[in-house]
Structure 1
Amino acid sequence: MTLKEVTREDLKNRIFHWPDIQEFREEEATKHIFYETPNTVGAVWCMRPGQTLPIHSHENADDIWIVIEGTADFYPECGETVPIQAGDVVVARAGEKHGMTNNSDKNFVMIGIAGPTPIGFIPHKHD
């Protein structure tokens, strides 16, 4: 079998390099969607120290977070917290609450993959 060599540029809608698409904002956590299909959506989340992704759920979508850099306080339920760090994979199944705050003094980066789309957003209060 002979393989045809292709370039990364040929697959720019299939191969992504997260450091090139990360984006930080001083005023709030930043979600940069890098792909979306009828089945899933992928985003790079960037958070400066003190920034929060509010606790929420998705009625029919799973949300998987892959922590790339930093640490944060993860909220698995209203009123609960557990530390997460680079190397962790966090799974929130449809209906499960999830959110976080970067309470460290360093930047936080994670990749989120969710589906099926549209994922929706149901906010919850931290009681």
Structure 2
Amino acid sequence: METRGSISEMEAVEVMASSPSQINERLFKLDEVVQFDSEAGKKTIFYETEKMALAVWCLEPGQKVVNHSHSNADDIWICTEGTGTFYPGYGEAVEITKGDIIYSEPGQQHGMVNTGTERFVFIGIAGPMPMDFISHE
């Protein structure tokens, strides 16, 4: 998308888009949505519309997200803490760590295991909603 105009015009648009009355509905603090469960990996959806969902996944060492796919949605995972192993398909494994970003398009398998000794956290961005869940375990 091409944007034309002076810098001052663009700054004015940014100020209007980030007005205090709206920013509280669009700003999330990661430490306020992170929740762990000693029994199993924990997924917390902290924002959802008909177009997309934002979630945080929290895995203790050894916990996992089962290998699965979505026939109708893109899924992006952004690692924010810890290390783990990403499973993009049968027999495949990729080590990931803080700062890594994974994209899975509709139909592509994806799963995760916390293979580290510390807690593992990643953000999931998926859409459109509702999305299906097809287990490959």
Using structure 1 for the length normalisation, give the TM-score: 0.90
Q: Which of these residues, 93, 108, 119, is aligned with residue 96 of structure 1?
A: 108
Q: Does 1:25 align with 2:28?
A: no
Match of 1:41 in 2: 53
Match of 2:65 in 1: 53
Q: Does 1:75 align with 2:87?
A: yes
Structure ID, larger Rg: 2
Counterparts of 2:30 and 2:59 in 1: how far apart (Å)?
A: 14
Q: Does 1:63 align with 2:75?
A: yes
Q: How big is the alpha-carbon RMSD for the aligned residues of Structure 1 and Structure 2?
A: 1.7
- Aligned letter for 2:60? R
Name the SS of the counterpart of 1:12 in structure 2. helix
Counterparts of 2:83 and 2:54 in 1: how far apart (Å)?
A: 20
Using structure 2 for the length normalisation, give the TM-score: 0.84
Counterparts of 1:13 and 1:122 in 2: how far apart (Å)?
A: 32
Match of 1:13 in 2: 25
Percent identical: 45
Unaligned runs of 5+ in 2: 1-8
Q: Is the 8 A contact 1:13 1:35 kept in 2?
A: no
- Aligned letter for 1:32? T
Runs of 4 or more, structure 1, over 2 Å off, are 1-7, 9-13
By percentage of residues, which structure has more helix?
2
